[in-house]
Amino acid sequence: MNKRISINSIAKELGISTTTISFVLNGKASEKRISEKLIKKVMDYIEEIGYKPSTLARSLRTGKTNIIGLIVEDISDPFFSTIARQIEERAYKSGYKIIYCSTENNRDKTKELIEVYKDRHVDGYIVVAPDGVEKEINDLCARGKPVVLLDRYLPNVNTDYVLVDNFNSAYNATNYLIKNGFRNIAFITINSLQVQMIDRLLGFEKAIKENGCTQHVKEIAYHDSEEAVKHIVSLLNRTPEIDAIFFATNYLCVSGLRALKSLNLKIPADVGVVCFDDYELFELYTPSITSIAQPTEAIAENAISLLLSRLKKGVTAGKFQKVILPTSFIIRESSAK
Amino acid sequence: MNKRISINSIAKELGISTTTISFVLNGKASEKRISEKLIKKVMDYIEEIGYKPSTLARSLRTGKTNIIGLIVEDISDPFFSTIARQIEERAYKSGYKIIYCSTENNRDKTKELIEVYKDRHVDGYIVVAPDGVEKEINDLCARGKPVVLLDRYLPNVNTDYVLVDNFNSAYNATNYLIKNGFRNIAFITINSLQVQMIDRLLGFEKAIKENGCTQHVKEIAYHDSEEAVKHIVSLLNRTPEIDAIFFATNYLCVSGLRALKSLNLKIPADVGVVCFDDYELFELYTPSITSIAQPTEAIAENAISLLLSRLKKGVTAGKFQKVILPTSFIIRESSAK
DNA sequence: TGTTTTTGCTAAATCGATTTAATATACTTG
DNA sequence: CAAGTATATTAAATCGATTTAGCAAAAACA
């Protein structure tokens, strides 16, 4: 009864060959000199029965899947989920589907995910890479699969990437704190070798040194919020002279707000706060939190454009692009006494 | 140089047939009486060259992809992204991959997405359905693809679903407000026929009627936060006697907090607040917001278990399960004067 | 009229697996 | 020793598309 419709069944039904149908379907009809009459016949019939070619079979034959693999750090982080949504939308318009997943910044999980995507024959990759996966990414490039890195690059990987200007953003934000009278500023970050985190730290340190301030750098091995809160509480107890905190990521800042609340420290009277990366919460929090907002739309737009152009022109066409975008500094209540 | 390794190339290399290799790979070696010696030979060689069968080719032949399609309302909403992460994890352990996407509660987009997933031959579906897609879901079931509905069911669709007890949760929360002295309570919801929203409203109305209170139901066609803020501001201006608000979703509540802030109304002194669905922001907001928390882990666990069991036993095996989970009422500062 | 070109279409190979049905050999059994 | 059975392996069909190479028939040309 419910016999599958395939290009074969259609060919049989219409009494023509599958080749002809395939040509018509792929817009090669005129190139291959299929007559108008036959084209119409095929199109009409396909329309009538609502036939859609099997992507599976097509991919097997062509080696292309029209799928882009998007690997981010955490899809439930608003920064990444926003970018994911925008990439998805743009890709969709160009006939590509996105499949995404989260690495949780875990090296082994990332390697596994790349393996899964290779297995699924995705055509290209957009990756927010943890450190330690250089070899795997290089391997993808070597196999002719375009890769665009996001949020951070990998030192020994030669491919396109899209970043924000972490160094100057952190430098400016730190200077702003200093100008507002804070002198003992803590920089709370994750213990990671990722370049974007290093750059943020370097920007911070430069501003501190130029102004002869005291810096307190605290690296946290982030596993969950509760643990981070404890670390921050402990830091503030040990070092009561800290009068401001620069949080290097949004989730560290959320933990920080919890910590400050539990210590009953007032922002900004007792402790000034700025955060790298914006978040709805920061706008609504009392007091509202000053932050460095990343241009998610531009990041998504650049990443997908780079990837699509490589997919069209090939991995080796032209030089690799290194896109560095500016951030915007959103001054709120938390950063001035 | 880089000749692809396939089951064929291996067969040629080892001088045996592809059938044998396939049997070994699929654990049918003993059933098919392949000798230990040959099994070892095949396994060793596969190990050595790191061969992995093409999922594409396998899927084409077997009709199974080992992919589950997860369709949620908005992957950047923390409620859905949390569930997605948990489902992904459980599925992964059972050898299934998840591909997900957002409907934005849009009927047409949902239909399109179902089409895409059908095209990708996903083995089963977990769907947070907008109203109006009954036909498409029924069609999937009819084709033998298991579907589990989440967060809400569809009236004329007979399949498994996992929900929370919307009616009683809303009833209890409203009673709590009333017990705390609020008498003019607004219920702010989206204009939708979705059963979970209707149930929340019915629970609210029951409590109101039982206590002889005044109710103000406001349905908003939600497009973006700014517009919602305007609607809420306008409602509060028109109806100053409102002394408490029950928000039917987390994002409406966020808009509500913005609205209350802009009107300079104090929570809970001027307006009490409770919200259906919890959110990190609600815990950290000043004052903290009372909410009805959904058991995301249990929801994810139930949904994936139901689907996996259908995938194993078939769509028609046994009765459809209707799982209704309890919520927890998190009392914070916003709900008592 | 005979040869070449053009037009319109198709047979068959291919992508990389699974699976059915068959075959060849070794081993029992009466 | 012939016939039946168990063992170990494989040839070939199949999933549903794309693509190369080629074949008739019609048209153009000499």
Tell me if residue A60 falls in helix, strand or coil. Answer: helix
Token pair in block for residue A184:
């003992």
Q: Is the pLDDT reported for residue B2 higher than 70?
A: no
Residues in chain A: 337
What single string gives the DSSP state of each residue in B180-238? TT--EEEEEEES---HHHHHHHHHHHHHHHHTT-EEEEEEE--S-HHHHHHHHHHHHHH
Query: Exposure string (b/e) for A152-183, b if CB count within 10 Å is 16 or more?
Result: bbbeebebbbbbbbbbebbbebbbbbbeeebe
Q: How far in angstroms lies nucleotide D27's C1' from the CA of residue A312?
A: 40
Quick one: pLDDT at residue B89? Answer: 87
Burial degree of B83 (CB within 10 A; 0-12, 13-18, 19+): buried
pLDDT confidence bin for B3, thresholds 50/70/90: low
Query: Exposure string (b/e) for B192-230, b if CB count within 10 Å is 16 or more?
Result: bebbbbebbbebbbbbbeeeebebbebebebeeeeebbe
> Quick one: average pLDDT of A301-316?
91
Nearest nucleotide from residue B62 CA, by C1' atom = C18
Q: What percent of chain A has pLDDT over 90?
A: 82
Q: How far in angstroms lies nucleotide C24's C1' from the CA of residue B5?
A: 30
Quick one: pLDDT at residue B313? Answer: 85
- The alpha carbon torsion through B250, B256, B262, B263 (nearest 10 deg) reads -150
Q: Is the pLDDT reported for residue A316 higher than 80?
A: no
As a whole number of angstroms, the distance between CA A55 and CA A158 comes to 32
Quick one: pLDDT at residue A3? Answer: 59
Distance from A12 to chain B by nearest Cα, in Å?
21
Write the pLDDT tens digit of every residue in A260-297: 999 999 999 999 999 999 999 999 999 999 999 999 99
Mean pLDDT, all residues of chain B: 93
| Residue among A85, A121, A281 minimizing CB distance to B284 | A281
Contact B85 A100 (CB under 8 A): no
Of residues B230 and B33, more confidence is placed in B230
> Quick one: average pLDDT of A7-27?
94
Contact B254 A284 (CB under 8 A): yes
pLDDT confidence bin for A33, thresholds 50/70/90: confident
Q: Is the pLDDT reported for residue A172 higher than 50?
A: yes
Quick one: pLDDT at residue B30? Answer: 84
Burial degree of A112 (CB within 10 A; 0-12, 13-18, 19+): middle
Write the pLDDT tens digit of every residue in B276-321: 999 999 999 999 999 999 999 999 999 999 999 999 888 777 899 9
Distance from B253 to chain A by nearest Cα, in Å?
12
Whether the beta carbon of B193 falls within 7 A of nucleic chain D: the reply is: no
Q: Which nucleotides of D are covered by protein (CB under 7 A)?
A: 7-12, 14-21
Q: How far in angstroms lies nucleotide D26's C1' from the CA of residue B69?
A: 53
Q: Is the pLDDT reported for residue A198 higher than 90?
A: yes
Quick one: pLDDT at residue A254? Answer: 97
> Quick one: average pLDDT of A214-228?
94
Q: Is the pLDDT reported for residue B1 higher than 50?
A: no
Q: Is the pLDDT reported for residue A194 higher than 70?
A: yes
Quick one: pLDDT at residue A1? Answer: 37
> Quick one: average pLDDT of B116-122?
88
Token pair in block for residue A325:
């975008």
Quick one: pLDDT at residue B76? Answer: 81
Chain mean position to CA A173: 23
Mean pLDDT, all residues of chain A: 94
